[in-house]
Structure formats: structure tokens, C-alpha cells
């Protein structure tokens, strides 16, 4: 058995409800998810592992392509040092023709291999990113409510969009180029040494200041990238918070305050972005100056050696070509490095997210509660020595003992913040108790598989949430394999059939397209039909706070009674008519039950519930 969340108030109403500000700085809320340093590397390996054959083939193609491309200056050297003397001295055109043919083959072969390499790399990157985005989505759904309370949906969206996009830019452009540059540097270095030891040594020496510059740029730009990614995340979070809370934004005319707040974040982002570009421009300028000085010095030194007979002319010509090729990518290096920095910051954040484990894990050795005799309603629920504190707050339930007999409806009432929703969420196992156990027919909820728990315990929250899809699909969430007949039967039993058939496409009406025209009450009826179809033994109902005991609500009230009948039910009650149908009322205060009894008995008494009941009655009079 298990808990299916049929609807979620939090999602639809924009952010967690009644969540107090964090008591202490919370690393998760601040976007710094704790994860080992090796997590990004391990994530990358795990993403590439399924494509290792393709990666190996791509590497071979790249080596071959660079061999073809980097071979051409050698041919030039051969043409000058061997081809030209052969023509001049022996009228022999053979070596020059051989050079021309080899040059053509290298150029065409290099181009073709480059094309193959880019296609292979693009294929790998597409699959890796597809897999990564899927993993983020699955993981976000699997993480517990405790995580979602603290890590905003805006941040999650930012992981799956901006961060994946920055990885795409690296994989599709930067990484390919970076690999080509790295392989070419190795080839060129080796060829320069082959051509002339002095030339190779000089090129190597001239690289030293460049390495210092790159190192310095890397350090400075890493810091700017981290600031830039935080700045863009803030922009996204602000956007998503505003849109999630668009109703209260309009109701309280927060538009201009929000505009001002957004403008600050927007400017901050642009400023950091500007800094990053300036840093890059500085790097390009300095690297060009170093490269130009290096090329000029080596060529002049080479010319001196040719003149003094220490080196052949062809070797100098080929060496000059190689040195140009060596420095050529330097201009693009800043861009590639930027790509790399931004992608590695993104990879770190994604790895941090994927490293989080659900606080409500599956049991290592699941148990199945004993089958109940047919026809026996509900299951018994026991809170045994339960204590609970949210991670970011003080204790909400101090040692709590409660037995809910099978088949009974218990109404929870009490002041706001008394702990009613917390109790309901513990029963739905959205959270685990800090101490003690919640038992379902004697089995600890933690020993049930989540699938079984979600089948047996269903929670319906305040605002019935409709997913995109048709009305029928929305009802079928309660039982995905239900046929149309079962769906209609549930809707009829709930009293939703008439309004559904009055919709233009009846059960096939797309709720997203008509979202605004399905009223809150009708949405509740759909949610109740889901529950009826799911047929759980335990139902938890968070009644809409705005519910009133008025005739228009009668349909919802009747539907609720149908859903509760024959199940163990816990209702966070806001209606007089609801508490009146309950078998038992619990009045909560400060995480404790302060009154417990049959509604009629409590009403007849002089306690808090009697007062509350009188106040409700008066408000309806």
C-alpha cells in the first residue's frame, strides 16, 4: 500500500505553503549542494561510459585527421629541400609531383576526417545531454519534499536548462575544438623537434609565458564565471517565483516592487557578464602580443641559422608554418576556456544535485502488511512515540502517540501552525519521523516499498491540481490501467459526470486548454474521482481553507463523504459539516492533541472545540 499524492497545493499555489524562513543558513537553499569533489568527474564518466566505443572511434578519427592536417608543412619542407634541387639539378619533377599528390590527399582526407569527427562528436554529445536532462528530471521527482522545501523549482529548472545548455556549448563546440588543439599541439611539438631540435626547443620556451597567462586567466575567469552563474540563477529564480505567485502578485499589486527587484538582479547579471568579457579581451590582447613576439623571434633566429648554414631553408619554412599553427588557436583559446569554465561550473552544480539522496528512501528489505479480510474497511494507523522537526526549524511534534482505528474518519482541527498538516505528511510519508514510528496495520511505513505505500495511502491536498492531459487522463492517475468505463463509474459516483459531459469534448477535454474554465470545486471533484479509482485504504484530506458551508459546496461535500466511506480517513477540517460527519475530532495545539472525542460529546462540553463550533455556527447564521 502506499501514498499517492493526488494533488499538490504547493506546486499550484506557487511555493511551499506556510514555510517559515530558515532558522540557519542552509547550504541547499543557497544553491551549494554538498557533494564530493570527484562527483562532477564521476558524473561525466558515467555519462560517457555507455558511448565508450564511439568515443574511442572518434579519438582515432581525430588522431588520423590531425596526422593528415599536420603533415602538410612537412611536404612543403620536402618540396623546398628535395623537390626544388631535383628539378634544378636533374630536371626531375618526380619529387614535386609526389608532394603535390600527397598534399592533395592530406587536404581532402583531413577535411573528410574532420567532417566525420564532428558528426561523431555531435552524436555523442546529443545522447549524453539527452541522458543528462532525463536524469535531472527523474532525480528531481525522486527527491523528498524536504529537499523541495528548500531548493526552489527555479533552481531546478536552471539545472535542467541553462546548465545543460552550457554543457551543450562545450560538447558541441568547445570540446571538439579543444581536443583538436591539444592533439595538434602534441603533433606540432613533436614535428618541430623532428625538423630541428633548436626550433622545437625555442617553440617550447616561447610557450612558457603563454602558460602563465592561461593559468592566470583561468583563475580570474573561474571566479567571474561562478559569479555570473549565480547572477543568472538569481534572475531565473526571481522569474519563476513571480510567475508561480502571479495571483498574489496581482492581488497585492506587487508588480512595481517586483520590477525594481528584478531590475537590480538583471543589472547585476549584466555587470558580471561585462566583467567576464573584459577579462577575455585582456587575455586575447596579451596572448597575441606574446605569440607575435614569439613567432618573430623564432623566425629571425631561424633565418640567422639558415644563413649561417645551421638549418635547411625548407625546415625554416615548415617550422614557420608550424609555429603559426601553434599560436593560431590562442585567439580562440579564451573562448574555449570560457566555455569550459562555464560548463564545469554547470557540471558541478548538476553533479551536486544528482548526488542528493531522497530523505524518504526505499526500504532495504521491504515488508508487506498482512492481508485484511475482504470487506473490512481501511487499516489501522498508529503514531508510536513520534517526534518530528523540520530540518530548518524547531520541533513541531513533541512525542506524539495516536491510534486511528481502521475505517474511522478523524477530523483534525486547531490553530494555525498547530501541526495538523505535519501529522498528515508523516502519515503520507512525505517525511520520516525524527524519532518513533508510524505504523500501518502494525507495519512501519519505512518498511513498505514506496509503490505499495502510495497505493494504500492517498493524500489529497487543498487545491486540486490538474496535470496537462484530458479530464479522463486526470482521473486515471488514480489507476493508470483503468478503462473508460471504470473512469466514468468513478466520476458518476463522485457526482462529476454531469459537469464533465457538459464540457465540449466531455472526458476528452484538454484541461490545460480549458484550465481557467474548470472551477475549483470541479477540480476537487476530479481529484476525488481519482481517489475513488485508486481505492486506497487510508485517505488524507486537506480541506480547502476557503471552503464554506454553503449550498454550492454541497456537491463537494457529498463527494467527500463518498470518498471517506469505508476507509481510514484523516481530514484537516475547515468546515462545520465535515467535523459533523467525522467519527472523531482531534483538537491540536502546539503539536499536541488537546481534545479528543466524538464531535457531539465535544460540542456538548466546554472545551476549545465547543467554542470553535459555536463560532462556526454563528458565522453561518
Ligand X SMILES: Nc1ncnc2c1ncn2[C@@H]1O[C@H](COP(=O)(O)OP(=O)(O)OP(=O)(O)O)[C@@H](O)[C@H]1O
Residue of the chain from 418, 428, 541, 564 that contacts ligand X (CB under 6 A): 418
Cα–Cα distance measured from residue 605 to residue 608, given in angstroms and rounded to the nearest whole number: 9
Least Å distance between CB 571 and ligand X?
12
Three-state DSSP state, 308: coil
Q: Are strands 381-389 and 395-404 parallel, antiparallel or unpaired?
A: antiparallel
- The distance of Cα 38 from the centroid of its chain, to the nearest Å, equals 19
Check binding of 421 to ligand X (CB under 6 A): yes
CB 620 within 8 A of CB 576: yes
User: Which residue number, 314 or 419, has a Cβ lying nearer to ligand X?
Assistant: 419
Q: Determine the size of the site formed for ligand X (CB under 6 A).
A: 17
- Torsion angle in degrees (nearest 10) through CA of 465, 469, 472, 474: -20
Distance in Å from the first CA to the final CA of the chain: 43
User: Which residue number, 16 or 597, has a Cβ lying nearer to ligand X?
Assistant: 16
Task: Specify the stretch interacting with ligand X by CB under 6 A; choose among 167-175, 338-346, 416-424, 463-471.
Answer: 416-424
Least Å distance between CB 278 and ligand X?
42
Task: Specify the stretch interacting with ligand X by CB under 6 A; choose among 308-316, 356-364, 400-408, 417-425.
Answer: 417-425
437 - beta bridge partners? 384
Task: Specify the stretch interacting with ligand X by CB under 6 A; choose among 200-208, 299-307, 411-419, 494-502.
Answer: 411-419
User: Which residue number, 221 or 392, has a Cβ lying nearer to ligand X?
Assistant: 392
Check binding of 393 to ligand X (CB under 6 A): yes
DSSP string covering 74-116: HHHHHIIIIIHHHHHHH---HHHHHHHHHHHHHHHHHHHHHHH
Residue of the chain from 419, 433, 521, 536 that contacts ligand X (CB under 6 A): 419
458 - beta bridge partners? 4, 539
Residue of the chain from 20, 34, 111, 361 that contacts ligand X (CB under 6 A): 20
Check binding of 390 to ligand X (CB under 6 A): yes
Residue of the chain from 329, 377, 417, 566 that contacts ligand X (CB under 6 A): 417
Contacts of ligand X in 471-510 (CB under 6 A):
none
Task: Specify the stretch interacting with ligand X by CB under 6 A; choose among 64-72, 155-163, 287-295, 414-422.
Answer: 414-422
Cα–Cα distance measured from residue 62 to residue 179, given in angstroms and rounded to the nearest whole number: 8
Grid cell 541522458 in the structure block, residue: 131
Three-state DSSP state, 519: coil
Least Å distance between CB 419 and ligand X?
4
Check binding of 422 to ligand X (CB under 6 A): yes
- The distance of Cα 338 from the centroid of its chain, to the nearest Å, equals 23
Task: Specify the stretch interacting with ligand X by CB under 6 A; choose among 281-289, 361-369, 390-398, 472-480.
Answer: 390-398
Q: Are strands 3-5 and 457-460 parallel, antiparallel or unpaired?
A: parallel
Check binding of 392 to ligand X (CB under 6 A): yes
User: Which residue number, 26 or 275, has a Cβ lying nearer to ligand X?
Assistant: 26
Burial class (CB in 10 A: 0-12, 13-18, 19+), 406: middle
The secondary element (H helix, E strand) that includes residue 568 is: strand 568-572
Contacts of ligand X in 111-150 (CB under 6 A):
149
Beta-carbon contacts of residue 146 (< 8 Å; ≥ 6 apart): 359, 390, 391, 431
Residue of the chain from 155, 168, 349, 420 that contacts ligand X (CB under 6 A): 420
Residue of the chain from 106, 203, 236, 396 that contacts ligand X (CB under 6 A): 396
User: Which residue number, 407 or 414, has a Cβ lying nearer to ligand X?
Assistant: 414
Check binding of 16 to ligand X (CB under 6 A): yes
CB 559 within 8 A of CB 543: no
Least Å distance between CB 165 and ligand X?
31
Least Å distance between CB 55 and ligand X?
44
Least Å distance between CB 538 and ligand X?
18
Task: Specify the stretch interacting with ligand X by CB under 6 A; choose among 17-25, 309-317, 347-355, 560-568.
Answer: 17-25
- Between CA 317 and CA 320, with CA 318 as vertex, the angle to 5 degrees is 65
Least Å distance between CB 588 and ligand X?
6
CB 400 within 8 A of CB 436: yes
Contacts of ligand X in 148-187 (CB under 6 A):
149
592 - beta bridge partners? 589
Cα–Cα distance measured from residue 175 to residue 481, given in angstroms and rounded to the nearest whole number: 46
Interface contacts to ligand X, rule CB under 6 A: 16, 18-20, 149, 390, 392-393, 396, 414, 416-422
Amino acid at each position: 500500500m502506499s501514498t499517492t499524492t493526488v494533488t499538490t497545493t504547493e506546486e499550484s499555489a506557487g511555493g511551499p505553503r506556510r514555510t517559515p524562513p530558515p532558522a540557519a543558513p542552509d547550504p541547499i537553499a543557497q544553491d551549494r549542494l554538498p557533494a564530493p569533489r570527484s562527483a562532477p568527474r564521476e558524473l561525466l564518466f558515467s555519462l560517457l561510459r555507455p558511448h565508450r566505443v564511439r568515443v574511442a572511434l572518434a579519438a582515432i578519427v581525430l588522431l588520423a585527421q590531425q596526422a593528415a592536417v599536420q603533415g602538410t608543412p612537412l611536404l612543403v619542407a620536402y618540396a623546398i629541400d628535395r623537390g626544388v634541387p631535383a628539378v634544378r639539378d636533374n630536371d626531375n619533377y618526380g619529387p614535386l609531383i609526389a608532394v603535390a599528390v600527397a598534399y592533395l590527399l592530406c587536404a581532402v582526407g583531413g577535411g573528410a576526417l574532420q567532417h566525420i569527427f564532428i558528426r561523431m562528436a555531435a552524436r555523442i554529445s546529443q545522447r549524453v545531454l539527452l541522458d543528462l536532462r532525463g536524469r535531472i528530471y527523474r532525480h528531481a521527482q525522486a527527491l523528498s519534499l524536504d529537499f523541495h522545501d528548500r531548493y526552489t523549482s527555479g533552481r531546478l529548472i536552471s539545472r535542467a536548462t541553462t546548465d545543460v545548455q552550457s554543457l551543450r556549448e562545450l560538447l558541441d563546440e568547445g570540446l571538439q575544438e579543444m581536443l583538436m588543439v591539444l592533439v595538434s599541439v602534441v603533433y606540432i611539438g613533436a614535428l618541430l623537434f623532428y625538423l630541428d631540435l633548436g626550433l622545437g626547443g625555442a617553440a617550447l620556451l616561447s610557450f612558457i609565458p603563454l602558460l602563465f597567462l592561461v593559468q592566470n586567466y583561468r583563475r580570474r575567469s573561474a571566479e567571474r564565471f561562478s559569479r555570473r552563474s549565480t547572477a543568472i540563477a538569481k534572475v531565473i529564480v526571481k522569474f519563476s517565483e513571480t510567475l508561480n505567485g502571479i495571483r498574489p502578485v496581482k492581488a497585492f499589486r506587487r508588480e512595481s516592487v517586483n520590477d525594481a527587484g528584478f531590475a537590480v538582479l538583471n543589472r547585476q547579471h549584466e555587470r558580471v557578464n561585462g566583467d567576464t568579457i573584459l577579462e577575455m579581451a585582456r587575455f586575447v590582447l596579451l596572448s597575441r602580443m606574446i605569440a607575435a613576439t614569439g613567432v618573430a623571434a623564432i623566425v629571425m633566429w631561424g633565418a640567422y641559422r639558415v644563413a649561417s648554414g645551421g638549418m635547411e631553408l625548407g625546415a625554416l619554412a615548415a617550422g614557420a608554418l608550424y609555429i603559426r599553427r601553434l599560436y593560431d588557436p590562442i585567439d580562440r583559446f579564451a573562448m574555449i576556456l570560457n566555455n569550459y569554465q562555464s560548463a564545469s561550473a554547470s557540471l558541478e552544480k548538476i553533479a551536486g544535485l544528482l548526488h542528493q539522496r531522497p530523505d524518504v528512501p526505499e526500504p532495504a528489505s521491504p515488508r508487506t502488511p498482512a492481508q485484511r479480510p475482504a470487506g473490512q474497511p481501511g487499516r489501522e494507523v498508529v503514531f508510536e512515540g513520534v517526534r518530528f522537526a523540520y530540518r530548518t526549524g524547531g520541533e513541531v511534534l513533541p512525542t506524539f502517540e495516536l491510534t486511528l482505528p481502521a475505517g474511522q474518519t478523524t477530523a483534525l482541527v486547531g490553530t494555525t501552525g498547530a501541526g495538523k498538516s505535519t501529522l498528515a505528511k508523516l502519515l503520507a510519508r512525505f517525511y520520516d519521523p525524527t524519532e518513533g514510528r508510524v505504523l500501518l496495520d502494525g507495519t512501519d511505513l519505512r518498511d513498505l516499498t514506496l509503490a505499495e505505500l502510495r497505493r494504500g495511502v492517498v493524500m489529497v491536498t487543498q487545491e486540486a491540481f490538474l496535470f496537462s492531459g484530458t479530464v479522463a487522463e486526470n482521473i486515471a492517475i488514480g489507476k493508470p490501467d483503468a478503462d473508460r468505463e471504470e473512469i466514468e463509474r468513478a466520476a458518476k459516483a463522485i457526482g462529476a459526470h454531469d459537469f464533465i459531459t457538459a464540457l465540449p469534448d466531455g472526458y476528452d477535454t484538454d484541461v490545460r486548454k480549458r484550465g481557467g474554465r474548470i472551477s475549483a470545486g470541479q477540480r476537487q471533484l476530479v481529484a476525488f474521482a481519482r481517489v475513488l479509482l485508486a481505492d486506497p485504504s487510508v485517505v488524507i484530506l486537506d480541506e480547502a481553507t476557503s471552503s464554506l458551508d454553503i449550498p454550492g459546496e454541497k456537491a463537494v461535500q457529498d463527494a467527500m463523504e463518498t470518498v471517506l466511506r469505508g476507509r481510514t480517513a484523516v481530514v484537516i477540517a475547515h468546515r462545520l459539516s465535515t467535523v459533523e460527519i467525522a467519527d472523531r475530532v482531534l483538537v491540536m495545539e502546539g503539536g499536541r492533541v488537546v481534545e479528543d472525542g466524538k464531535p457531539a460529546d465535544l460540542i456538548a462540553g466546554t472545551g476549545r472545540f465547543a467554542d470553535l463550533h459555536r463560532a462556526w455556527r454563528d458565522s453561518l447564521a
